[in-house]
Amino acid sequence: MTLKDELSAIAGEAFAAEGLDAGLGAVKAADRPDLAQFQCNGALAAAKAAKKNPREIAGAVADRLSARPEFSEVTVAGPGFINLKLTPDFLAARIDALGADGRFGGWEKETPEKIVIDYGGPNVAKPLHVGHLRAGIIGESLKRIMRFAGDDVTGDVHLGDWGLQMGQLISELELRQPDLVYFDPQAEGPFPEEPPISLSDLEEMYPAASAACKDDPARADLARKATKALQAGRPGYVALWRHFVTLSVNAMKKDYADLEVEFDLWKGEADADPLIPELTEDLKKRGVLEESDGAEIIRVAREDDNKEMPPIIFLNSEGAVGYHATDIATIVDRKRALDPDRILYVVDARQRLHFEQVFRAVAKAGYFDEARLEHLWFGTMNGKDGKPFKTRAGGTLKLRDLIETVTDKARERLEENGFAEGYGEAETREVARQVGVAALKFADLSNPRTSDYIFDLDRFMAFEGKTGPYLLYASVRVRSVIAKAKTAGAGEAGPAMLAAPEEVDLALVLLGFADALRDAYAKRLPHLLCDHAFTLAQTFSKFYAACRIVDEGDAKLRASRLALASAVGGQLDLILSLLGFSAPERM
């Protein structure tokens, strides 16, 4: 139970004792922290139902709450707001429990679910670029948050490895090297184990093939025919496809690892393709699939739609499979293999129509509950001109180049601030990577998922303000305080004693973690955890400046403050982990 839940239950009992709905006791953080810690506005709503003056109701409820040991002060303000202040002893007992529970007060679900999160979505044969950044960062954080809350979560990269781009690449290579054995229509294999091209060749071919297909209808027709032949299982084309996937995935894994992004499954559209013939027949039997101009479509429009909802093309007129079909087949595959309660898609806002169509189609077919399919769309990372971020030359920045850029910038900042003194080269490089990744991830996650944001590396990398490096430094400082206490023989952490206002403030923030975590989970918004982490770091800084810790003369007070510092360090490091990065041992 979160602190707000506990206080709401107490206030609800007071309303119920007055013959009113206990639900009116909902408590929230005070709008005026200078006057109270929490407030309850239920008397205003109760007055309408009871046809009484709200201040009269608030006064009666306040009298009951004043008799409770949890509150040091209960007052009525304005038209009937009930302001609440908690006793230091009440808060201290909960801080002791928080420090002992191993979860540092983190909220946990009563009924866990089995969840699949689809949050990668890169296309094979293309290097990862900044456009893949947000899906990876947001999806990884949500996966960690949900696992910590108790869910059984599977993360799937869902590669784009079976569409038209594969036909474009195969036909491009055939035009360049027609004598390769892969292009012999009679060849059954075995084919060479080593790929005929390198990763750099593949990355050069992809845009060349795409541009050629746009400019030349005949070239585009070659790509479509190659796609159809691949999907029909032509051995040489399948062997080439496997080479393309292997080259690409090996590079992706390195980039994602440096970003501390991990996937449980590296499946793609091709894994769902074997289900297409079966689903085609099943959808026809269910009356969901119909023929239209040679294609097989699913109509997903509804009578109450207030916008155009085009049908899904399940199979085009040539019999080739598109993204809609493989996404439907993937849902069926996940249902059979994992039987999830819910499937979440962390994919940018431009795909909103696509997922609405897919979700409606699987619901129409009876394959999955539409309410348990969620598209967690996100905004774009923009340059200072407000447009999607590009390189200075106007191209798309590779993710590998971005990682190197932020790592180099972090190293500069570390050296400027004297934090890198005494490091060996390997440690300096690793700390710089950690700081760079923290700067990049926190900058992304601290913005609401559904908002666009401006990429500003200098601001992201600052060691002051609401940034990733600031939180890393706060974590390192807390650990340093605890280490100094041990070195100085200052004793162990002990029961909390909250005397100074800075101690009370810090306790309140620590106890707010459960609500922040629950809200971040329920709303699928990691920035709410970022807000809590920043507030925690700031509040600790004020506590550290006002309250002696290691050299405090009162042994009980020193033990209490060490307990507070330990709770802050544990909770802050936990939140950093949930956001998808970690602090170095020293900075």
| Predicted local distance difference test score (pLDDT) of residue 392 | 64
pTM over 0.85: yes
pLDDT tens figures, 250-262: 999 999 999 999 9
Q: What is the mean pLDDT of the chain?
A: 94
Element (H, E) at 345: strand 342-345
| Predicted local distance difference test score (pLDDT) of residue 420 | 65
The mean per-residue pLDDT over the stretch 80-95 comes to 97
Q: Domain 3-86 class?
A: alpha beta
The mean per-residue pLDDT over the stretch 262-291 comes to 95
Residue type, 457: L
Tell me the CATH number of domain 124-158+267-375, given options 3.40.50.800, 1.10.10.10, 3.40.50.620, 3.20.20.100. Answer: 3.40.50.620
pLDDT tens figures, 402-456: 999 999 999 998 888 877 677 788 888 899 999 999 999 999 999 999 999 999 9
Residue 195 has pLDDT above 90, yes or no: yes
> Residues of CATH 1.10.730.10 domain(s) within the chain?
417-579
Distances from the Cα of 152 to the Cα of 5, 60, 185, 515, angstroms: 25, 46, 46, 21
Distances from the Cα of 128 to the Cα of 205, 218, 268, angstroms: 15, 29, 16
Residue 4 has pLDDT above 80, yes or no: yes
Least Cα distance to 582 among 265, 120, 253, 140 occurs for 140
pLDDT tens figures, 503-525: 999 999 999 999 999 999 999 99
pLDDT tens figures, 295-334: 999 999 999 999 999 999 999 887 888 889 999 999 999 9
Element (H, E) at 432: helix 425-445
As a whole number of Å, the end-to-end CA separation of the chain is: 36
When pLDDT is cut at 50, 70 and 90, the band that residue 393 belongs to is: low
DSSP states along 376-419: -----EE-TTSSB---TTSSPPBHHHHHHHHHHHHHHHHHHTTT
Q: Domain 417-579 class?
A: mainly alpha
Show the tokens assigned to 319: 């019999």
Residue with tokens 């999607």: 388
pLDDT tens figures, 461-491: 999 999 999 999 999 999 999 999 988 888 8
DSSP states along 8-39: HHHHHHHHHHTTS-GGGG-EEE-S-TTT-SEE
Distances from the Cα of 243 to the Cα of 152, 199, 429, 564, angstroms: 33, 10, 33, 55
DSSP states along 225-291: HHHHHHHTT-HHHHHHHHHHHHHHHHHHHHHHHHTT---SB--BHHHHGGGHHHHHHHHHHTT-EEE
| Predicted local distance difference test score (pLDDT) of residue 423 | 76
Residue 294 gets the label, from left (phi > 0), alpha (psi -120 to 50) or beta, of left
Q: Is the peptide bond before 190 cis (omega within 30 degrees of 0)?
A: yes
Residue 162 has pLDDT above 90, yes or no: no
> Residues of CATH 3.30.1360.70 domain(s) within the chain?
3-86
Residue 166 has pLDDT above 70, yes or no: yes
Residue 389 has pLDDT above 90, yes or no: no
